[in-house]
């Protein structure tokens, strides 16, 4: 189940809100310009499945969303817990950064943890299969796939380099919970 926790950015031990209720997650995130929707990822895809398999399984959805929302490129992040590069892949987005376009991700398998830092609040969102999240460009955040990553996400871009992260150099991400499935 997807879950949102909200913290003050100087108090990582005390959640001000903790909810798995979809409408509450969407409305709380809507206040900071983030779109959160629960869709139906109806094609069975295994974590670690190759990009081509994911793209062809979801081709109709991808074409529709891209036409509706003006995306020009998509790719897939697909990783299974035994991936030999899992530590390196986990490290890629583990520190606070932002992107120069909206971050739009559709989870079609598994789960991962996005944490957004907006003003003096921290929004921790566990995204699971079926979740679509769109984070506005410039929003500082980090993403943890955990020590045994297991997810498939389709990423939508306006520009081919839209995935590039610009790192802020802060250590805030080290102060908030990392993704330990089942431990929270």
Ligand X SMILES: CSCCC(=O)/C(O)=C/O
Q: Which residues here bind Fe ion, judged by CB under 5 A?
A: 103
Q: Show Cβ contacts of residue 85 under 8 Å, excluding neighbours closer than 6 positions.
A: none
Min CB(168)–Ni ion separation in Å: 11
Q: Would you call 36 helix, strand, or coil by DSSP?
A: strand
99 is in an annotated binding site: yes
CA atoms within 13 A on the CB side of 174: 3
Q: Which of 121, 155, 181, 184 binds ligand X (CB under 6 A)?
A: 155
Residues 15-74 touching Ni ion, rule: CB under 5 A, are none
Q: Which two tokens stand for residue 14?
A: 């005390």
Q: Are 54 and 150 in contact (CB under 8 A)?
A: no
Listed residue (166, 4, 177, 149) closest to 77, CA to CA = 149
Residues 90-129 touching ligand X, rule: CB under 6 A, are 93, 103, 105, 112
């869709």: which residue's tokens? 39
Stretch that binds Ni ion, among 105-113, 145-153, 159-167, 170-178 (CB under 5 A): 159-167
117 is in an annotated binding site: no
Q: Which is nearer to ligand X, 31 or 100 (CB)?
A: 100
Min CB(166)–ligand X separation in Å: 11
Query: Across the chain, which distance is largest between two alpha carbons, in Å?
Result: 44
CA dihedral of 153, 159, 162, 164, whole degrees rounded to 10: 120
Distance CA 126, CA 169 (A): 24
166 is in an annotated binding site: no
Q: Of these partners, ligand X, Ni ion, Fe ion, none, which one is at the site of residue 155 (CB under 5 to 8 Å by kind)?
A: ligand X
Residues that bind Ni ion in the complex, under the rule CB under 5 A: 165
Residues that bind ligand X in the complex, under the rule CB under 6 A: 77, 93, 103, 105, 112, 141, 143, 153, 155, 163
Annotated binding site: 97, 99, 103, 141
Annotated binding site for Fe(2+): 97, 99, 103, 141
């Amino acid at each position: 189940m997807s879950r949102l926790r909200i913290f003050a950015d100087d108090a990582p031990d005390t959640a001000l809100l903790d909810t798995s209720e979809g409408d509450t997650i969407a409305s709380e995130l809507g206040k900071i310009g983030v779109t959160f929707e629960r869709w139906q990822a109806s094609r069975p895809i295994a974590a670690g499945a190759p990009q081509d398999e994911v793209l062809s399984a979801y081709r109709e959805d991808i074409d529709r969303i891209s036409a509706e929302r003006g995306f020009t490129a998509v790719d897939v992040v697909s990783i299974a817990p035994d991936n030999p590069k899992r530590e390196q892949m986990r490290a890629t987005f583990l520190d606070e950064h932002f992107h120069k376009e909206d971050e739009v991700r559709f989870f079609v398998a598994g789960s991962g943890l996005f944490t957004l830092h907006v003003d003096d609040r921290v929004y921790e969102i566990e995204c699971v299969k079926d979740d679509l999240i769109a984070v506005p460009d410039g929003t500082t955040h980090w993403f943890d796939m955990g020590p045994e990553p297991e997810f498939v996400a389709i990423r939508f871009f306006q520009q081919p380099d839209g995935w590039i992260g610009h790192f802020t150099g802060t250590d805030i991400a080290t102060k908030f919970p990392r993704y330990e499935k089942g431990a929270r």
